[in-house]
């Protein structure tokens, strides 16, 4: 014990002793606290790519942060005013200053390059797998891949996401161009696995923001605009429900504007759509019957 204390007597030695601790602190997150320090992911490739990009940037950031903290702490401890100490009257060092300016710029160049390399995986939607829904029958978006988050073939399952206080409405595209005849659901979106899903995000009243953390980044739903994003849930997640909620203040019940995405097999998806259509038709018919009855009662 006394040996350790003696070894720690000077600040330089403390820093040397702390170095392994720093290293451990940097490596530990990789194992035990991976989720503690990184974004949610696992539901879709774009979320995973963002997670990877974050980890790279985070590691660089931690090194820089640790470096500045160490230099600050070292200067405070090492150059603490002592009797007889004389402060060096240095006014600057042009070479050093140019050096760290260029150094900072280089770090940012590296960051930009890493980002551009990873960007394709995050932005560009992949094609659906053969095991996914056969899209010829479910509707083919005509959008361009660059702006509308669809794969190069232009074929993905398009779902319209409409934000309104305080619920999400999902309209599922099919062969019929008239959206009013399409299946829709509120709050819970049901999607097939292994299928690229393109979301067409709109808002009806105020600004909302669509966000399911495990399925990638958020996209704001702005009245008067259409925003696009995509996700593709791997087959192993069939039966799982992903959770999210509105991420842009939309009023008093903003906290309760939840969103769920339930991943199902392509067969279950098609059954779901059929069932929804049947239910919608039944309730429309029922409403029509009631309207007629009320009209009849009123005219009597």
Enumerate residues 110-139 that contact other proteins by CB under 8 A.
Answer: 111-112, 115, 118-119, 122-123
Number of neighbouring beta carbons within 10 Å of residue 180: 7
Is residue 87 close enough to count as binding other proteins by CB under 8 A? yes
User: Which residue in 58, 235, 237, 280 binds other proteins (CB under 8 A)?
Assistant: 58
Q: Please answer whether residues 248 and 208 qualify as being in contact, where contact means their C-beta atoms are separated by less than 8 angstroms.
A: yes
Is residue 23 close enough to count as binding other proteins by CB under 8 A? no
Only one residue has tokens 């974050």, namely: 54
Bridge partner list, 186: 169
Alpha-carbon distance values, 186 to 130, 142, 282 (Å): 29, 25, 17
Taking alpha carbons only, the member of 154, 158, 137, 155 closest to residue 145 is 154
CA terminus-to-terminus distance, the chain: 100
Applying CB under 8 A, the span of 126-134, 190-198, 209-217, 273-281 interacting with other proteins comes to: 209-217
User: Which residue in 127, 220, 268, 270 binds other proteins (CB under 8 A)?
Assistant: 220
Is residue 36 close enough to count as binding other proteins by CB under 8 A? yes
Number of neighbouring beta carbons within 10 Å of residue 91: 4
Q: Please answer whether residues 186 and 146 qualify as being in contact, where contact means their C-beta atoms are separated by less than 8 angstroms.
A: no
Least CB distance from residue 43 to other proteins, whole Å? 12
Alpha-carbon distance values, 280 to 158, 183, 234, 273, 283 (Å): 20, 7, 29, 10, 5
User: Which residue in 4, 31, 85, 296 binds other proteins (CB under 8 A)?
Assistant: 85
Taking alpha carbons only, the member of 126, 137, 182 closest to residue 159 is 182
Q: Indicate the residue among 8 and 72 with the shorter CB distance to other proteins.
A: 72
User: Which residue in 128, 162, 171, 227 binds other proteins (CB under 8 A)?
Assistant: 227
Please list every residue from 241 through 300 that binds other proteins, using CB under 8 A: 243-256
CA atoms within 13 A on the CB side of 52: 14
Q: Indicate the residue among 240 and 276 with the shorter CB distance to other proteins.
A: 240
Please list every residue from 185 through 204 that binds other proteins, using CB under 8 A: none
Is residue 18 close enough to count as binding other proteins by CB under 8 A? no
Least CB distance from residue 178 to other proteins, whole Å? 22
Q: Pull the structure tokens for residue 187.
A: 């709050």
Is residue 225 close enough to count as binding other proteins by CB under 8 A? yes
Please list every residue from 155 through 174 that binds other proteins, using CB under 8 A: 165
Applying CB under 8 A, the span of 16-24, 90-98, 167-175, 178-186 interacting with other proteins comes to: 90-98
User: Which residue in 1, 81, 180, 296 binds other proteins (CB under 8 A)?
Assistant: 81
């Amino acid at each position: 014990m006394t040996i350790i204390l003696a070894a720690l007597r000077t600040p330089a030695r403390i820093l040397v002793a702390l170095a392994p601790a720093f290293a451990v602190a940097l490596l530990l997150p990789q194992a035990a606290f991976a989720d503690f320090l990184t974004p949610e992911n696992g539901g879709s490739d774009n979320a995973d790519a963002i997670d990877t990009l974050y980890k790279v940037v985070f590691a660089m950031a931690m090194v820089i942060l640790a470096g500045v903290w160490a230099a600050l702490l070292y200067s405070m401890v090492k150059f603490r005013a002592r009797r007889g100490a004389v402060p060096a009257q240095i006014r600057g060092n042009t070479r050093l200053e140019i050096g760290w300016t260029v150094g900072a710029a280089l770090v940012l160049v590296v960051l930009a390059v890493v980002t551009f390399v990873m960007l394709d995986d995050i932005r560009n939607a992949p094609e659906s797998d053969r095991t996914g829904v056969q899209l010829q029958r479910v509707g083919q978006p005509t959008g361009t891949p660059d702006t509308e988050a669809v794969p190069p073939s232009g074929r993905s399952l398009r779902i319209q996401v409409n934000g309104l206080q305080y619920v999400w409405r999902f309209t599922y595209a099919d062969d019929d161009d008239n959206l009013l005849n399409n299946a829709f659901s509120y709050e819970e979106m049901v999607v097939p696995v292994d299928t690229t899903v393109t979301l067409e995000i709109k808002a009806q009243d105020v600004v909302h923001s669509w966000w399911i953390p495990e399925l990638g980044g958020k996209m704001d739903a702005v009245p008067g605009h259409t925003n696009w994003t995509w996700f593709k849930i791997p087959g192993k997640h069939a039966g799982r429900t992903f959770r999210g909620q509105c991420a842009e203040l939309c009023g008093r019940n903003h906290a309760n504007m939840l969103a769920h995405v339930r991943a199902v097999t392509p067969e279950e998806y098609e059954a779901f759509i059929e069932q929804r259509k049947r239910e919608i038709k039944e309730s429309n018919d029922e409403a029509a019957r009631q309207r007629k009855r009320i009209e009849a009662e009123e005219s009597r």
